[in-house]
Amino acid sequence: MPGQDGPVSMGAQPVAVTARTADVRFIGPVMGRYALDSRARTNGVQIFACRLQSISATQIIASAPVSGLIEEGVTINFEPFGTLRGQIARHVDGGFGMVIEADEDERGKLVSKIDWYKKRTFAGLTDKRQHRRFMPREARSALILASGHVLPCLLIDVSASGAAVSADIDPPVGEPLAIGRTVARVVRRLEVGFAVRFLSELEIDTMEEMLQAPDEWQRAIALQQEAAAAKRRALFAELLATADGEGASEPTDDYTI
């Protein structure tokens, strides 16, 4: 469950949890950004938006449009907590769980940041500048492209007239698409995604319902995982063929045991 903490292990490297760090965690939505190590070597989208579900000195649970692979390295940033490194330990519904890589001193500093942010939030001191734009209760949705392709996406923030979106795509300005049941057009690119303007303004009372797409999200995630598995199978087949070719070209000596 998000927010649960205790002794955590990643492969053969256990993470020690002191009594103080085990007791300090924050559960709540905070927008951030992350980069997967595997994407550093590709020409596609490399930085995605994410939304915090929970954070402690040892773990992060986040909603994300691309979940990455188990044990894949990830760099993640949330403004209140800074930039953190770690590995994906597990997949959760619509995101991933990450084990934080840090020494004792770094964990102590993170605990202080978490404790400070909890007090600030519960005291009602969070930033309230954005009245027209807000984070939806359910950030997960799906993009339906003009080609008919469906991709999972994360809603960074929304308003009656548009939204900021993060997904594994970099559409050109002007391209039409749909978020859930709402048709929109891309108006500009962002560092962690792109902004769209709805063709018709949404009513505040029904806005989140119009942008949700639970069935399409699940279907898009399944297709994404299937595509990733197909790429891994193709890479393995290529490596195997190369190894077989190299082995066939080398002379072998007859020998007996």
Residues 83 and 176 in one domain: no
DSSP, collapsed to helix, strand or coil, labels residue 226 as helix
Number of domains in the chain: 2
Prediction pTM value = 0.67
Mean pLDDT to the nearest integer, 174-194:
93
Residues 112 and 206 in one domain: no
Give residue 162's domain range: 130-244
Q: State the pLDDT at residue 125.
A: 46
Which tens digit of pLDDT belongs to each residue from 56-108? 999 999 999 998 999 999 999 999 999 999 999 999 988 999 999 999 999 99
Residues 110, 78: Cα–Cα separation, whole Å: 12
Which tens digit of pLDDT belongs to each residue from 197-237? 999 998 888 888 898 876 766 677 667 667 666 766 777 77
Which residue has better confidence, 221 or 138? 138
pLDDT at 127 over 50: no
Question: With the C-alpha atoms ordered 42, 97, 90, 22, is the resulting torsion angle positive or negative?
Answer: positive
Does some domain include residue 2?
A: no
Does some domain include residue 252?
A: no
Residues 76 and 114 in one domain: yes
Q: Tell me which of 122, 142, 163 is where a domain ends.
A: 122
HSE toward the beta carbon, residue 102, CA cutoff 13 A: 24
Mean pLDDT to the nearest integer, 150-154:
89
Give the amino acid at 147.
S
Does some domain include residue 154?
A: yes
pLDDT at 247 over 70: no
Q: Are 77 and 34 in contact (CB under 8 A)?
A: yes
Residues 53 and 148 in one domain: no
Does some domain include residue 238?
A: yes
Residues 150 and 208 in one domain: yes
Residues 114 and 134 in one domain: no
pLDDT band at residue 246 using 50, 70 and 90 as cut-offs? low
Residues 99, 88: Cα–Cα separation, whole Å: 6
Residues 135 and 118 in one domain: no
Q: Are 56 and 114 in contact (CB under 8 A)?
A: yes
